[in-house]
Amino acid sequence: MTVPCKTKVEISQTILEHVPKEAEITRIEFEGPALAVYTKRPEILVEQSYIVAGIVNLIRKRIVVRSDPSVRLAEKDAERIIHEIVPREAEITSISFDPSLGEVILDAKKPGLAIGKNGATLQEIVRQTRWRPRILRSPPIPSKIVAHMRHYLHAESKERDRILRTVGERIFRPMVYGAGDIRITALGGFQEVGRSSLLVQTRESHVLLDCGINPGSTNPIEALPRLDAPQFDLDALDAVIISHAHLDHCLHPNAYVQLSSGEVTRICDVPTGEMIPAVNFNDTLQLEDVACIQRGGISAPTVMLEVRTKTKRVKVTPEHPFFTFNGRDIEIKPAKSLKEGDYLSTLRFIDFEGERQRFPEEVAFPSFSDAETCQILGYILGDGGKMGDNYNTVFCTDKNMENLHHYAKLINKKFDLKVKVVKEKRCVLKVHSIKFRRWLEEIEPTLLAKSPLRKIPRCICRVTNDELAAFLKGLFDAEGCIQNHSITLSTSSENIAHTTQLLLIRFGIITHLYDHDEKTSTFGGEKAFHLVIYDPDSIKKFTSKIGFDDKRKMQKLLKMLPKIGHAMAPRMDLLPIRSEIILSIAEKIGLKKNDLRRLGFHYYHYQVKHYPSKRKVSEVVKRLIKIAEKTNNQEALRSLLRLKKITESEIMWEPVTEIREIKADCTHVYDLTILGHSNYIANGLIIHNCGFLPFLFKYGYDGPVYCSAPTLSLMTLLQLDYLDVLNKQGLMPPYDQKDVRESVLHTIPLRYGAVTDIAPDVRLTLHNAGHILGSSIAHLHIGEGLHNTVYTGDYKYAKTMLLEPAVTEFPRVETIITESTYGAPQDEMPSRVEAEEKLASIINETLDRGGKALIPVPAVGRAQEIMLVIDGYMRQGLMKESPVFIEGMISEATAIHTTYPEYLAKEVRNSILHEGINPFQSDYFTIVEHTSAREEIVTGEPSIIIATSGMLEGGPVIDYFRHLSSDERNTIIFVSYQIEGTLGRRVQRGLAETPMINSEGKIGIIKVNLRVDSIEGFSGHSDRRQIINYVRRVTPKPEGIIVCHGEKAKCLSIASVFQRAYKVQARAPEILETFKLR
C-alpha cells in the first residue's frame, strides 16, 4: 500500500542510503507493482539479499533488482557463457531473454542443478552476464503458445518497458482524498449467467473485476457489460482483472487456410500455435507471420452464405466479416451486408521459398525432395491409382502414350524400378512394387485413393519453389488442358482444387474456381472442380515458371500465347477507387481536374466503375506526394501515403459476383484467432477472424490486466464470444493489431498468495479457485485495513484429481461476492468419487463387450481431469487396461498444464516435480497427430477415445462418432454439460439417427445405436451444497454476502439461504445497481 508521505524522491533517498556505493545504482523506477532498482553491479545485491529485505521493511514496497542495460552482455554471448556455467547434467532445454525485466529464462529438466548449492550458479550467471536468471522446470510437453508469448514479449520489450513504468507511476501516485466510500456497481452477471463484470470504486481508485459477455443474447444491451453506466470512467480505471474467455467461429470446415509453413489445410484441422501469414492492415499492408492462438467450432446455423468473386468462393455464416474497399479505404463488412459489386481483398502473390523435404527412407528411394521426384508425385496424384493383388501395382493412365513413356523413364531413373507401358483398353503405365506403393502412401495416405478423397501431400506444400513448380507440372500433365484461351485443371478432389489454387499464388498465378454437381459433372457422377487460368499475365507466368512436359499440351500453350490479351480476360489489377477521392485530395494541394489529367489520371474516364489499374494510381499518387511535400499539406500527405501502401501491396480487389443463401451441409463452423493482425487466408480470400481481444484498449485504456500465470497462457488459447455478438449485429470489430499488442503487453501475471499493489489504496491477492488451471479468487484489501472483499469468480469447492479445492482462508474478509451458477435446490451433483467410479464402470462394461468408449471433452480442464482418472484407475487395476487415444486441442491445453505443475493438485504436482512421473504422458495414452490414424483406431481393438469438442459441435470427435455410432457395443460418455440445440444434447435425449457428412463429403444418415451415458460430478463449478459449504467455511466470517452469476431464481434462492443460516446481510443485486460496502 502506498505511504502518502513518501514521495519517489524520498524513497530513492532511503534506498541509496542503505545500498553500498559499490553496487553503482544508476536509477530507481516504479515499474508495475514494484520498485525497480537498476545497478551496474547487481551481483552485490543478489549475494547480499538481506540488504534488499531490510529496505522492503522500511518502505513497505516490493523491490526488484535489475542490471543496468548498459552492462548486460549481448544475448548470444550471455547464452554461450550460461551454457559454460550451468552443469550439463541440469539439461537446459531452452534459453530466452526478457530485456524489459533484465531477465534470462532458463528451462531445465533438473532446475536444482541449474540453481546450484545455495544459489551459487545463479550468482555466477549474474556476475558474468549481468542478466538476472529465472529458472523454470522444462515442461514435459512443450507448449507452442508459451513459446510464442515469450517471443512476442521479447520483440516488444521497449513497449513493455514503457507500460510498466506508466503503470508503476499510476499505482504509486500520492492519494488525494484518502481511503473510503467503497462502492460496487453491477455491470453484468447479476441475476443472470454470463457477462460477469463489476466495478469497485473507492475515493481514490477504480478496479474492474471481469469483463465477460452473455453468449445467449444478440442484443448488445443484454449481451455486453454495461460500460455505458455513468459510474464507469475508462480514463479513471486503475486495473482490470479478467478470468475467462470463450470461442466464436464462422467458416465452413472445408475452407482451406494457408499456413506459414507453406502447407494448405482445412480450417477445422489448423493446429493451435501454428504460424499463419496475415496481412498487416494497420500499417504495411504486407504479409507477416503471426501465431494462430485458437481454433474452435460451434454449431452451424441452418442457413449459410456462399460468397463468390471472379476467382474465389467461400462459405460463411451471415455475420462473418470481410475486408472490403469502399472507394476510399479498407473497411470491414459482415457477409450479410455484402452486395454484388463490392470489392473483397485477395492476394496476387505469396512470397514463400520453401526448403527440401525429407521423404520416407527406403533403400534406393529418394530420401529428400527434388524436382523430378516431385514431378512424378504430381503426375501420379493426378492420373495414378493402385490395382492387382493386394493393390501392389501402381498405375497411371493417359491418352498420350508418349507422355506415359516420358514418366516411365523418370520413375525408372529415380527409383530404379521396372516400368511397363502398355496399350490395353487404354494406355497404361504400370509399376509392380510393394515398396513403391507403400512409399507413396507414407508420403500421403490418400495419394492412390479414390479421386475425390485425394489430397496434395503436406510435404509438397513446404518444398522449394523449383520443386513445387515441377510437382504442378506433373499434376497439369495429368489433369490439365488448354482450351478457350485458358489453362484448366480438372479434378474431383476439392482438396486438390483449393490447395492448387493457393499454391499457384506462390508464382503470382491467379485462377478461377468453378464446380459442377454430380448431375452436370463429367467425372462419372462425381462432383467436379475446374481451376481455370484466364488472366494473361498468369498464363505467361505459368508458361515460364511451370509449363508442361506433355509435348502436345505445351505446343498448344505456346501457340495460344501470342493470341492472349487483356481483352480476353477480366483485368485482375484494378483498384476500385472513387475518382472523387483522388480529386478531393488533389484539391487540398491546389490542383484541379485538368492538372490530374496532365498527371495521367483521366477523371471523367474513371467516374462510373471504369476503375484504374493499381499501377496507374501508384504513378499518380507518387507525383501527388511530391507536390504535397512541397506544399506541406500533412492531411493530404497522410491520405496519399495510405493510398501508396495500398497500391504497392500484393492485395488484389475482386468484385463480388454472387451471394447466395445455402442450406448448411455441415454440423459446425470454425474460426481462427490470429495474434495481432486478426485475419488469415482462406480459399484465397483474406478473411477477418473473430476472437477474444480486450476491446477496452481500443477506447484508450492504458492500464494493467492482472491474472495468474497459467491464465495468461490460457487466455491466448481461449477467447471471449464478444465478436460473435458484434458480427451478428453487423458492427465493426472493436479491436485491431494495436489493441492486441497492448492487451498482451499490459498483462501482469501474479503468483497465488502474492500481495500486490494495484492502486494507491488497493492491494490484490490471488488464490486458487479450483475451477480450471490458474482460475483465481481475488482478495481486495482496500485502505489500511478499511475493508476486505473476496470475489470468487467461478470456483470448485471440492478436491479433484486435477486441482485443489478453492481456498477458504483469508487474512480478513468483510464482504464475499460468490457465484451461484448451480444454486438451485435441485442443483446437487454426485461426489467426485462416485463420478469417477461410474466412469470406470461404464468403460469396463464397454471394453468387456468388445466396444469402444468415446468421451467428448472440452479441451481445457475436463480433458485433463478425465486423463488423470483413467490413468489412475488403470494403474490401480480398477479399470481394464486398453489403449487411450487423445485427439484435438487437448494436447496444447495439456502442455500448458504441464508448464505450470505448481498449480495442479498436490499428488499430480509431486508426481511431476519429485517422482519424475508425468501422468499426462502415461503409457496408456497415444496422441493422435494426424487424421489418417482414425480409421485404424475405429476398426482396431477395444479402446478409449478422448476427443474435442465436448458437445459434438466440431472437432475430431465428430468423425469418431460417425464411425462408432452404428455399433451397439460402443458407448459415448458425456462428462460435461450439453447445451440445448447441440448434437450432444440431442444424442443425450435419445436421438435415433442424424444426418452427417461422410469421408467423401456427402451427407448420409447415421444410425445412433451405441449406448449413451452421461455422468454428472465432473463439473468445474460448485453445486448448491458446495456453494453453501464454501461460504460457511470462509474464515474469517464475512459480514456481508453478495450473490452473482446465476439465473435470477437461483441468485435469490441462495441469497435467502445465506441470510437465514448465517445471520448476515445477503443480497442479489440487479444490473446497474450501485451499493456501498462502507
DSSP letter at 174?
P
**Cα–Cα separations (whole angstroms), residue 940 to 37, 841, 848, 963:** 62, 22, 15, 12
Split at pLDDT 50, 70, 90, the class of 244 is: low
Question: Does 924 score more than 60 pLDDT?
Answer: yes
Treating both helix axes as pointing N-terminal to C-terminal, what angle do 862-875 and 890-899 enclose, rounded to 10 degrees? 80
The model's pTM is: 0.60
Q: 689 near 673, Cβ under 8 Å?
A: yes
- Work out the pLDDT band at 973, boundaries 50, 70, 90: very high
Q: How far apart are CA 562 and CA 961, in angstroms?
A: 56
Mark 1011-1049 as b/e (b = at least 16 C-beta within 10 Å): bbbbbbbbbbbbbbebbbebbeebeeebebbbbbbbeee
Here the cell at position 856 is 467428448
SS3 at position 643? helix
Q: Is a pLDDT exceeding 90 seen at residue 842?
A: yes
Residues 6+ apart with CB under 8 A from 841: none
| Residues 639-676 pLDDT 10s | 888 788 888 888 888 888 999 888 877 766 767 756 54
Return the CATH number of the domain spanning residue range 1-171.
Answer: 3.30.300.20
| String of DSSP letters for 388-430 | SGGG-EEEEE-S-HHHHHHHHHHHHHHH----EEEESSSEEEE
Q: pLDDT digits over 631-640, tens only?
A: 888 888 888 8
* Per-residue model confidence as pLDDT tens digits over 496-534: 999 999 999 999 999 988 887 644 545 555 788 999 998
747-750/705-708 β-pairing: parallel
pLDDT at 947 over 80: yes
Strand order of the sheet with strand 393-397?
Answer: 384-387, 393-397, 427-432, 420-423
The C-alpha angle 420, 401, 376, rounded to 5 degrees, equals 65
Question: Strand, helix or coil at 590?
Answer: coil
Show the cell assigned to 752: 497465488
Q: What percent of the chain has pLDDT over 90?
A: 41
The DSSP secondary-structure symbol of 136 reads E
Domain ranges of the chain: 1-171, 183-245+729-801+810-821+1022-1076, 256-348+653-689, 371-568, 579-649, 832-1014
From CA 449, how far away is CA 441, in angstroms rounded? 9
Residue 218 scores a pLDDT above 50: no
Residues in Cβ contact with 553 at an 8 Å cutoff, skipping those fewer than 6 apart? 476, 477, 480, 481, 482
CA gap 254, 997 in Å, rounded: 11
- Three-state SS for 274? coil
HEC string of 251-263?
A: ECCCCEEECCCCC
Local confidence band at 828 (pLDDT 50, 70, 90 cut-offs): confident
d(CA 977, CA 1018): 10
Cβ atoms of 377 and 471 closer than 8 Å: yes
Q: What pLDDT sits at residue 728?
A: 36
CA–CA distance, 821 with 446 (Å, rounded to integer): 48
User: Domain 183-245+729-801+810-821+1022-1076 has what CATH class?
Assistant: alpha beta
pLDDT digits (tens, 9 = 90+) for 679-706: 677 777 666 444 334 566 666 788 899 9
322/325 Cα distance (integer angstroms): 10
Strands 343-347 and 651-663 come out as: antiparallel
**556, 547 Cβ separation under 8 angstroms:** no
Domain 832-1014 fold: Rossmann fold (3.40.50)
Query: What's the CATH fold of domain 256-348+653-689?
Result: Endonuclease - Pi-scei; Chain A, domain 1 (2.170.16)
Q: 619 pLDDT exceeds 80? A: yes
Strands 1003-1007 and 993-997, how do they pair?
antiparallel
Burial (Cβ within 10 Å: 0-12, 13-18, ≥19) of residue 563: exposed
Buried b / exposed e along 181-206 (16+ C-beta atoms within 10 A): ebbbbbbbbbbbbbbbbbbbbbbbbb
The pLDDT score that the predictor gives to residue 787 is 95
pLDDT of residue 862: 86
Q: What is the CATH number of domain 371-568?
A: 3.10.28.10
Give 282's pLDDT tier (boundaries 50, 70, 90): low
